[in-house]
Each structure stands twice: as C-alpha cells, then as structure tokens.
Amino acid sequence: MGCRYPGALTHERIMEIFGGTADLVARELRCGPWSIHYYAIDGLTAGGDASDFVVHPVAERLRGDSMEELYEQALAGAVYNSVADDCPDLDAVALKLVNGFCVLLFPGAGAVAYEVKTPEKRGISPPQVENTVKGPKDAFVETSRSNTSLIRRHLRAPELRIWETQVGEKGLTNVSVVWLEGTAEPELVERMKRRMSELTVEALISPATVEESVTGGRGTAFPLIQYTERTDRFCQGLMEGRIGVLVDGLPQGYLAPVDLGRLMDSPEDRSIDRVSASCIRVLRYLALVVGLLLPGAFIAMTTFHHEMIPLPLLRSIIESRSSVPFSTAVEVLGLLVAFELLQESGIHLPQAIGQSVSIIGGIVVGTAAVEAKLISPAALIVVSTAGVCGFVQPDRALAEAVRVWRFLIAVLGAVGALFGVTVGAVALLVHLSGLESMGRAYLMPFSDGAVPKIVYGSAKRWRAKG
C-alpha cells in the first residue's frame, strides 16, 4: 500500500489527519522540561489501561536530557506495556490509532504506539446458521484477534501461520491469511497473500465484497470460496491444506480452494458414525438433484409428457388441477417466486416476526390458496419439496445458487419440456466443470469417477483427520 499521509511526523499533521473528530483524545504530557503528545481514540481504547500503563509511567518514570533519550526509554520499556511499537511515519500512527492503540509523539524524535484496546466486544456465541447436535459450540465473532485465538485453541500447532494486512483504500480493514505450514501448498499461500495485497477496494465491509475480491469477478451463483461461522470447520479446512481468510468485522472465516464435494460436507458428518454419515450424504446429494430438477420436471411432465405419469397419479393430479385457472408452468413459477419472497421476508424480519410470517405464508396463505383453487395441492407439494431439498444443503451459498438454477431449469422445462430440463442440467454441468477456485477445478472430486469414495471415503477421511 502506498503512502496515504505524507509529511513530517508532527502534532499539527496528526490533528489535521483526524480533522478534529470528536472521539480523538489528544493531550500534552510533561516530562520535566519536555512536553510530549498523547493520542487515543475514545471507545477503541480502555481509558483505565491507558492511564495506568501509559500516562502514569510517562509521568513517573520518563526522565532524560533530550527528546531522543525519552523516546528511547519509552521504546525500551520505561513505559511498561507488553506491546510498544515504533511508528516511523504518519501512516503508522494513523493505523495504530484506528486499531485501538494509543500513541505517544516525541516531537522531533519519533512516536511509539502502546496497545490499550478496550475489552468491549461481542462474546463468543454458538453458531446461528451451521447448527449441529453434537460438536463444539463456538462460532466466529467480529473481532479478528478473538477469531485467531479461537483457532489457536482448536489447533494448538506451532505450524499455524497468520499473515496480516490492511485492505481497502478507505476502510483499512484488517485481513488475516491463515494456513498450516507444511500442510498447505506454499504456492496457494503466496497466491492468496498476493491477491489480498493487490486488492483495490474502498473497504472490505460486506461478505459479498470479500468473496468477490478473493475469487475475482465471478460470473456464477456458485460459491468459489467457502464461508463458515464454525471454528472447528475452519480448522478442519486448514488441516486439509486449505487457506483461511479472516476479515476484521465479519463473524465468519473463509476457506479456499473449494469444490462441490466440500460444500456438500456438513460439520454434523463428523459427529455421527461413518455409516450414518455416508447415508445422510447420499440423501444430501439426492436432495440437491431433486431440489434442482423437480419443479422443471413436474412442469414438463404435466404439460408435455403425460404418458410418463402413472395413471392413478395422473388422475389425482388432474382432479386437483381441474378448477385451477392457471397453467402448471405459471402455477409452479408463481409458487417458486412466492416461496423466495417468503424466505426473503423471513430473513429480513426479526426472528419472532419472521416465524409468524413463515406460518402465515406457509400454512394460512398456502392452505387458503389451495382451498380457493388458485393453486393445486400437487404444485404446492412439488415446490415445497424442492424448497425443503434446498434447506438440506449444508452450505447456504450453495443453496442460494441452487435456488437460481432451479428457477432457470423450471423455465426451460416450461419452454422445452424434458428436453429443456435436460438442456438446463447439461448447461449446469458444463458451467460447473468450467469453474475454478484458486486454480482447482470445482468438480475435482468427481473427475475420477470415484463417487463411492466421495461419499464413504470422505467421511472416513474426516474421521481420521478430525
């Protein structure tokens, strides 16, 4: 990163950089005949700690014949603080201040930053999205350093490496690249570091910015980097040789490279026995296919290929649809839209209200619509089944990509019958086979045709390593 704040390291320049912001604490401290300047940002620093471990030692212990001597003493330990960093320029001073350090400026000699961060931060809580019945209950929080400590507690390996940088021309977000030395490929580590160093964004605040920045301009709905709020899952990824990324302010960790097989892994797989985990994994893959193809296949079969439906089933579908004024395609696509709307409203509303909306939308409106003969029960069952299959996916980003493709394949089914569905499925396969995550093929685990290995062997591998 280039020089953001040029100029000499003076009190005037520091005040100019912060432009008289209300939360900047600046005061003059006297050390005998010399006066030094103290800076801190209120709220980021603990006032008590700053008084006890910076201001008090300065007033009591710092004595010297020149400003340079005072500076040397402060850096050497006269001001008793575990962290005392030299700040050679204005950039370093500004960066330390916004990261919760306080800075002592010795005019004409230099500046020293002391760590007096406030302990105020969100406590470690259980995962909100990736819940499991068994297994650890600690999830990432917004503070990067807390997250690295959580990783260290799960992986007490001296080989764990953390490389930090600031990303964002305006935001200066702290980003950590995490890997396990000797396990991760050095080339991948360098690639991730290079990508982080070369990012030219204003700030890394939202998860989408992080994902797009790390994976490049991606023209796909499928995740090319995996995110997780679970520390154990993150550590598992590191042990598999993947590279982790932690972004200050985001309560999740990112793992790359990623492929479809890994996205279909659930932390729950490690909590249950191997046979059950393998069976559930087969069920999960089945749900992926059903969730993608069912609405499209239903439209195609009820509009173009009636002969494929067993007669008793066809009769009951016809009976249920006899009074519905819309075509099956309109009905299913409309229901898919309604389902997405309900899901979106559930996400944006507070949890208590969100549940009420789901109940009203799912049961009250759904039942009323069936009774009013606006939709048929068969279409409702098909869309609900596809929706439930989407919820089975352990990775939310993958489930969202499936939502997009489900819609596309349903439209193709309405236009081109089962042929259209097949075109959609083949297009998806072509699309997936063209995707790469940090140079790794997205369908890599399936490329050697070892599907049983993916299902059974993966669970075995997890057990062995995890």
Binding residues (CB under 8 A) for another protein: these are 302-304, 306-307, 311, 314-315, 317-318, 321-322, 324, 327-328, 376, 412, 415-417, 419-420, 423, 426-427, 430, 434
322/351 with CB nearer another protein:
322
118/327 with CB nearer another protein:
327
Considering the complex, what minimum distance in angstroms separates the CB of residue 429 from another protein?
Answer: 10
Beta bridge pairs of residue 256? 243
73/320 with CB nearer another protein:
320
Q: Token digits for 412? A: 């193709």
Considering the complex, what minimum distance in angstroms separates the CB of residue 295 from another protein?
Answer: 14
Considering the complex, what minimum distance in angstroms separates the CB of residue 363 from another protein?
Answer: 25
Distance separating alpha carbons of residues 371 and 375, to the nearest angstrom:
8
Total residues found in the chain within this entry: 466
Find, among 451, 460, 465, 461, the residue nearest to 282 by Cα. Answer: 451
Q: What is the largest CA-CA distance in the chain?
A: 101
Distance separating alpha carbons of residues 228 and 254, to the nearest angstrom:
6
32/216 with CB nearer another protein:
216
Per DSSP, the three-state class of 353 is: helix
364/404 with CB nearer another protein:
404
- Dihedral sign computed on CA atoms, order 123, 128, 130, 136: positive
Say how far residue 58 (Cα) sits from the centre of its chain: 43
Considering the complex, what minimum distance in angstroms separates the CB of residue 440 from another protein?
Answer: 19
184 in Cβ contact with 172 (< 8 Å): no
Considering the complex, what minimum distance in angstroms separates the CB of residue 324 from another protein?
Answer: 6
242/321 with CB nearer another protein:
321
160/324 with CB nearer another protein:
324
- Does residue 257 have a cis bond before it (omega within 30 degrees)? yes
Considering the complex, what minimum distance in angstroms separates the CB of residue 91 from another protein?
Answer: 46
Q: Token digits for 167? A: 């990303």
Distance separating alpha carbons of residues 257 and 438, to the nearest angstrom:
5
Considering the complex, what minimum distance in angstroms separates the CB of residue 276 from another protein?
Answer: 39
